[in-house]
């Protein structure tokens, strides 16, 4: 059995008997079924091992919780509200996203919303025909929007179109292998412990001290424990409509090119502006996911040229460009606030006129 699984390109060293059987199965949601979608997009044996770590990670069973109170809360919520996943992608990446979808446990998911603008990016690229394997993938739903909102496209249209304000919306990226148990865990944490919070997972980078102006201009300065100033989209974020000021996020993202390309920063800024708590979960069910190697290729947002237009050395998964974008986006927000205080701009959906200081 182990040799049969090896022929599928699966490193088998630490797989148990049940896992080996599952890799040989073609049944929907078996490891073998998932592997069919993943294997064509892998670059190395090392990457295969990392992805398998995601696939065999534990999953919290939301139908068999030990705590009766928690079981009742979760059951009642899921019976009356929906859980939606949401993502966007480029025309180049579109055929590859089944490698992401195949790492997801969809047992409590209502739909996977794939949000695609009519034309993508500054070059106004058209999407070719949606691949059949995406259209036929369980629970996928294609949502087309007129205007490309930038990376924030992955979340805003799904939130604004949700009629039920309590529905859970979980954003995912188009180049990440996720721990199989993370969806159930984020759902569990939201319902039982963090009702009014935005929830992410893994470990947070130290953004707060590394971006000029953050200490002075960041809306929330006290509620920073556990440490998560910025929710990072690559590691997935859970929202509900009732905690998201979508018009404000849309407004801030349009202030500059840097803001348009800085969805994590804009989302986190508006959540802080609305005094929404941001929580990070790091346990055996929800931990740092694995970025696929194809996500570090030349079509990555951090590739190509710096914001000043000059060529830059391409380094896979390098966050340097993000810090530059975030700083410039914060400057654009500061200028916007100044214009409001001077009465040159309308307060809009983000700020009230009372932000002006009285002398």
CATH of the domain at 288: 3.90.550
User: Per the structure block, which two tokens stand in for 85?
Assistant: 């996943």
Is 80 exceeded by the pLDDT of residue 359? no
46 found inside a domain: yes
Task: Tell me 240's DSSP state.
Answer: E
So what's the pLDDT on residue 318? 63
Domain co-membership, 90 together with 203: yes
- As for how many domains the chain has, the answer is 2
Q: For the segment 178-202, what is each residue's pLDDT rounded down to a tens digit?
A: 999 999 999 999 999 999 999 999 9
Domain co-membership, 223 together with 131: yes
So what's the pLDDT on residue 355? 40
Is 70 exceeded by the pLDDT of residue 316? no
CB 67 within 8 A of CB 76: no
CB 255 within 8 A of CB 333: yes
Domain co-membership, 51 together with 72: no
Confidence category of residue 312, pLDDT binned at 50, 70, 90: low
100 found inside a domain: yes
Domain co-membership, 76 together with 196: yes
Domain co-membership, 108 together with 132: yes
Is 50 exceeded by the pLDDT of residue 306? no
326 found inside a domain: no
Tell me the C-alpha distance between 93 and 87, whole Å.
Answer: 12
Q: In the block, which residue shows the tokens 């994590």?
A: 264
- Coil/strand/helix, residue 98: helix
Q: What is the dihedral of CA 163, 167, 172, 174, to 10 degrees?
A: -30
Tell me the C-alpha distance between 36 and 26, whole Å.
Answer: 9
So what's the pLDDT on residue 63? 97
What sign does the CA torsion over 51, 56, 62, 66 have?
negative
Q: For the segment 236-286, what is each residue's pLDDT rounded down to a tens digit?
A: 999 999 999 999 999 999 999 999 999 999 999 999 999 999 999 999 999
183 found inside a domain: yes
Give the containing element (helix H, strand E) for 142: strand 140-145
Residues spanned by the domain of 198? 68-293
Total H helices, total E strands in the chain? 14, 11
Q: For the segment 137-177, what is each residue's pLDDT rounded down to a tens digit?
A: 999 999 999 999 999 999 999 999 999 999 999 999 999 99
- Coil/strand/helix, residue 70: helix
Domain boundary among 248, 269, 293: 293
CB 236 within 8 A of CB 84: no
Domain co-membership, 225 together with 185: yes
Q: Distance of CA 119 to CAs 28, 113, 127, Å?
A: 33, 18, 7
324 found inside a domain: no
Domain co-membership, 126 together with 193: yes
Domain co-membership, 133 together with 254: yes
User: Per the structure block, which two tokens stand in for 58?
Assistant: 């534990």
304 found inside a domain: no
SS3 content of the chain, % helix, strand, coil (to 5): 40, 15, 45
358 found inside a domain: no
Percent of the chain with pLDDT over 90: 77
- Coil/strand/helix, residue 224: coil
Domain co-membership, 160 together with 21: no
Which of 187, 184, 85 shows the shortest CA–CA distance to 140? Answer: 85
Q: Indicate the range of 130-134, 138-142, 190-194, 303-307 predicted with least confidence.
A: 303-307
Is 50 exceeded by the pLDDT of residue 314? no
* pTM, 2 dp: 0.92
Is 90 exceeded by the pLDDT of residue 322? no
Domain co-membership, 46 together with 102: no
**Count of C-beta atoms within a 10 Å radius of residue 21:** 15
Which has more confidence, 310 or 268? 268
What average pLDDT does the segment 64-84 reach? 98
Is 90 exceeded by the pLDDT of residue 227? no
Domain co-membership, 175 together with 250: yes
Confidence category of residue 222, pLDDT binned at 50, 70, 90: low
Confidence category of residue 305, pLDDT binned at 50, 70, 90: very low
313 found inside a domain: no
Q: Distance of CA 296 to CAs 35, 80, 317, 340, Å?
A: 21, 40, 6, 40
Chain centroid to Cα 215, Å, comes to: 25
């Amino acid at each position: 059995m182990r040799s049969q699984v090896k022929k599928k390109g699966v490193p088998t060293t630490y797989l148990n008997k049940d896992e080996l059987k599952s890799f040989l199965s073609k049944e929907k949601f078996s490891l073998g079924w998932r592997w069919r979608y993943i294997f064509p997009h892998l670059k190395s044996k090392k990457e295969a091992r990392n992805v398998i770590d995601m696939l065999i990670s534990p999953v919290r069973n939301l139908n068999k919780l030990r705590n009766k109170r928690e079981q009742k809360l979760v059951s009642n919520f899921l019976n009356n509200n929906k859980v939606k996943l949401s993502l966007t992608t480029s025309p180049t990446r579109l055929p590859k996203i089944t490698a992401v979808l195949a790492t997801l446990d969809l047992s409590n998911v209502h739909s996977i919303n794939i949000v695609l603008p009519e034309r993508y990016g500054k070059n106004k690229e058209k999407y070719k025909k949606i691949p059949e394997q995406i259209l036929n993938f369980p629970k996928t739903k294609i949502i087309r929007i007129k205007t490309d909102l930038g990376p924030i496209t992955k979340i805003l249209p799904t939130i604004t179109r949700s009629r039920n304000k309590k529905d859970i919306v979980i954003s995912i990226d188009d180049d990440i292998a996720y721990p199989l148990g993370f969806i159930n865990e984020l759902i569990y944490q939201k319902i039982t412990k963090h009702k009014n919070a935005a929830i992410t997972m893994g470990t947070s980078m130290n953004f707060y001290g590394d971006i000029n102006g953050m200490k002075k201009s960041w809306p929330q300065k006290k509620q920073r424990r556990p440490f998560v100033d910025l929710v990072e989209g690559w590691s997935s974020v859970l929202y509900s409509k009732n905690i998201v000021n979508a018009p404000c996020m849309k407004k801030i993202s349009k202030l500059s090119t840097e803001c348009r390309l800085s969805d994590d920063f804009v989302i986190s800024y508006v959540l802080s502006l609305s005094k929404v708590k941001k929580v990070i979960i790091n346990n055996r069910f929800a931990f740092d996911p694995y970025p696929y190697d194809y996500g570090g290729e030349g079509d990555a947002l951090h590739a190509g040229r710096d914001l000043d237009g000059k060529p830059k050395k391409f380094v896979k998964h390098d966050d340097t460009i993000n810090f530059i974008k975030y700083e410039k986006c914060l400057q654009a927000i500061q200028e916007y606030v100044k214009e409001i205080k001077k009465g040159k701009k309308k307060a809009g959906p983000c700020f009230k006129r009372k932000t002006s200081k009285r002398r």
